[in-house]
Amino acid sequence: MISEKIKDAVNKQINAEIYSSYLYLSMSAYFESINLKGFANWMKAQAQEEMVHAIKFYDYINERSGRVLLTAIEAPPKQWDSPLDVFEFTYKHEQKVTGLINDLVNLAISEADHATTNFLQWFVAEQVEEEASADEVVQKLKLAGERGSGLFMLDRELGQRVFTPPTATKQE
């Protein structure tokens, strides 16, 4: 059984993960509007990945005999100044999510909830990857510039990203 304190915190994380998905869909729409289909594809794949994260938290609460309580999702921004602005925003957002995950880990440790501490380790590792991935694009945009062939080469590269849904495995 999951404690009320942990359940409430994980429910808040579900909201944060769904917001992240919504944010990345908004970014995808922005890139579509400026005809950078590769960037849009990267963000759409990221949105799908964030929904998988939300479902992992959702399933976890249910597996621990808790009650999932969904709340309103805040509207994401709709406009950015440039592709670099979008990816700098993405990097900062992922750093914020890392902080939320770390807070959950700290709460689970303080509550001596070893199952939740174990469950969250996947997300700790995932956030290292998420931050690195966003920062990599930031650095490439800074090197390539936001005009001309460098931008279009990066657009082509980001267009190659494919979302692969995880296989259905029960959390250990």
CATH class of this structure's domain 4-158:
mainly alpha
Q: Could you tell me if 127 and 49 are in contact, meaning their C-beta atoms sit under 8 angstroms apart?
A: no
pTM: 0.92
**Cα 156 from chain centre:** 22
pLDDT in tens, 129-165: 999 999 999 999 999 887 778 888 999 999 988 888 8
Phi, psi of 51 (to 5 degrees): -65, -35
- Both tokens assigned to 126: 């995932």
| Cα gap 48→20, rounded to integer Å | 10
| Cα gap 137→142, rounded to integer Å | 9
pLDDT at 147: 74
Helix 83-110 to helix 114-144 angle (10° resolution) is: 160
Three-state secondary structure call for residue 113? coil
Q: Could you tell me if 50 and 167 are in contact, meaning their C-beta atoms sit under 8 angstroms apart?
A: no
pLDDT at 148: 79
Of how many residues is the chain composed? 172
Low-confidence ranges of the chain (pLDDT < 70): 168-172
Domain ranges of the chain: 4-158
pLDDT at 172: 43
Percent of the chain with pLDDT over 70: 97
Q: Could you tell me if 7 and 51 are in contact, meaning their C-beta atoms sit under 8 angstroms apart?
A: no
Strand segments (E) across the chain: none
